[in-house]
Amino acid sequence: MTAPTLATVSEKVRAGERLNAADALALFLEADILSIGQLANGVREKRHGNAAFFNKNMRLEVTNVCVASCLFCSFAKLEAHMPGAHTMSLAEAWHELEVRMDDPPGEIHVVNGLHPGLPFSYYEDLLSGFKRIKSDVHLKCFTAVEIHFFAQHYKMTVREVLERLVAAGLGSLPGGGAEIFAPEVRTRISDDKATGAEWLEVHRVAHAMGLKTNATMLYGHIETFEHRIDHLLQLRALQDETGGFQAFIPLAFHPDGNGMKNLPAPTAIDDLRTLSISRLVLDNFDHIKAYWVSSTPKIAQIALRFGADDLDGTIVHETIYHAAGSTSPQGLAYGELVRLIREAGRTPIERDTLYNIVREFAPNEVPEAAMKVRDRKANRHLAVVS
Ligand code: V47
């Protein structure tokens, strides 16, 4: 059999045929990034037309104390008494939502370290406390790695952990902690937490309970293209089985302040290529997110023409990537997200976590907040001119 080429892969995509590992590798080795982007864009437009989704969310890391020592992590502290270690009291965590209640987030996305010294009730109370403050807030909390840790640490099954968290208000699982599934990479970059198979099993159980979840892949460190492809194919296989994934989010490795700081960060071309290939390989995933914190708002905006249909959200106060040297802002104003999407020629659609439409913008509609930014800029400009 002859090796796949851009032409044969393009033919398969146009015919709606599923890509295999060799097809994906041909795309990783292909120089013509614009053709790959165009193919992915075609798939994206077939699914979503001109729509580009975003949401109003808030990120919270309640503790960075973590028994795992991942080589890529610039955020975790091994022990609670180490300098820089922090664990919020429940009142402090709830306060983060309380102070935003004049313009509340629709979603709270919580990712933490694996803290060995907290009772399980801390996490249940955390969730139920958020719900007390805002009963309709969606709680997208705890990666599969955290859920796996809870099961081991508190001696429960994964299902029991999830059932108790759902009873406390959990709405869905975020996609973090997936990194790269292949054991030869995973054992080198994160040896002391859930394996790839365990990560997938947590999502399998969550899906069986009717929970929606996301999936990520941390790329651009020591893995090869073959490892990335293997990762995507394992996600695709689980999605065939359960249908429970909503979105896939490729995460660009940030090297500052961690055990792989000698490595360069992935380039813009790698970011766009990886995102486009993800769109093409994950033919059973509805959404591909360009996470602007990881890739920068500018690359995320371009990604809306390379296969992405979602920009995540306003986020507000991200810390994991900023610890690793991200130069993206810590949050984006609602109006700024709308502007990024519009100027990419897409139609901004505010969604909730489960992709129900919250607000669709008419072609020339400018959100209130964006007008304020524009007026401020205009005033500053006029002040300079006058
Ligand atoms: O699990 C940690 C990654 C993840 C670094 O589900 C790093 O909607 C790059 O999972 N360089 C957390 N990446 C973020 C995450 C996420 C983000 C956006 C949306 C969703 C979603 C999930 O960040 C971690 C880890 O894989 N990470 N350190 C680093 N130095």
**Per-residue confidence (pLDDT) for residue 339, from 0 to 100:** 92
Average pLDDT across the chain, whole number: 92
Q: Which residues pair with 365 in a beta bridge?
A: none
For the segment 39-59, what is each residue's pLDDT rounded down to a tens digit?
999 999 999 999 999 999 999
At 383 the pLDDT is: 36
385 pLDDT higher than 60: no
What is the pLDDT, as a whole number, of residue 368?
66
pLDDT at 187: 97
Residue of 42, 53, 27, 31 whose CA lies nearest to 106: 53
| pLDDT at residue number 270 | 97
Tens-digit pLDDT profile for residues 115-166: 999 999 999 999 999 999 999 999 999 999 999 999 999 999 999 999 999 9
> Is residue 245 lining ligand 1, measured as CB closer than 6 Å?
no
385 alpha carbon – ligand 1 mean position (Å): 43
Alpha carbon distances (Å) from 64 to 78, 98, 109, 336: 8, 22, 15, 30
Would you call 136 helix, strand, or coil by DSSP?
coil
Query: Residue 219: is its pLDDT beyond 50?
Result: yes
Mean pLDDT of 335-343: 92
Atom of ligand 1 nearest to the CA of 252: 9
Least confident of 33-37, 191-195, 362-366: 362-366
Cα 158 to its chain centre, rounded Å, is: 22
Q: Which atom of ligand 1 is nearest to the CA of 174?
A: 6
Structure tokens at 272: 């766009």
Confidence of residue 377 (pLDDT cuts 50, 70, 90): very low
**CA end-to-end span of the chain:** 71
Ligand 1 geometric centre to CA of 248 (Å): 12
Query: Could you tell me which of 310, 304, 270, 265 has the C-alpha nearest to residue 287?
Result: 310
Protein residue with least CA distance to atom 7, ligand 1? 253
Residue 110: per-residue pLDDT: 97
Any ligand 1 atom below 6 A from CB of 36: no
**Beta carbon of 76 within 6 Å of any ligand 1 atom:** no
- Nearest CA owner, ligand 1 atom 16: 176
Average pLDDT over residues 27-44: 97
Give the global pTM: 0.94
User: What is each CA distance from 233 to 114, 214, 284, in whole angstroms?
Assistant: 28, 15, 11
Over pLDDT 70: what percentage of the chain? 94
The residue to mutate among 114, 185, 218, having the most atoms of ligand 1 within 8 angstroms of its beta carbon, is 218
| Residue 320 near ligand 1, beta carbon < 6 Å | yes
Mean pLDDT over residues 12-32, rounded? 97
Q: In a 3-state reduction of DSSP, which class is residue 377?
A: helix
Q: Tell whether ligand 1 has an atom less than 6 A from the beta carbon of residue 113.
A: no
Q: Mind listing the pLDDT tens digit for each residue in 52-107?
A: 999 999 999 999 999 999 999 998 999 888 889 999 999 999 999 999 999 999 99
Phi-psi region of 75 (alpha: psi -120 to 50; beta: other; left: phi over 0): alpha
Q: pLDDT tier at 369 (50, 70, 90 boundaries)? A: low
Q: Are 344 and 53 in contact (CB under 8 A)?
A: no
Please tell me the predicted confidence (pLDDT) of residue 352. 97
User: How far is 285 from 282, CA to CA, in rounded Å?
Assistant: 6
CA distance 194 to 214: 17
Give the pLDDT of residue 308: 98
pLDDT at 258: 92
The rounded distance, in Å, linking the Cα atoms of 335 and 272 is 24
With a pLDDT cut of 90, the percent of the chain lying above it is 83
Range from 257-261, 263-267, 315-319 carrying the lowest mean pLDDT: 315-319
Please report the atom of ligand 1 found closest to the CA of residue 215: 6
Q: What is the DSSP string of 31-64?
A: S-HHHHHHHHHHHHHHHHTTEEEEE-EEEE-SB-
Torsion angle in degrees (nearest 10) through CA of 83, 88, 92, 97:
110
Is the separation of the CB atoms in 104 and 127 below 8 Å?
A: no
Instruction: For each of the domains in the chain, give its residue range(s) and CATH number, in order of start.
Output: 51-385 (3.20.20.70)
Tokens standing for residue 367: 């959100």
Contact 242, 205 (CB under 8 A): no
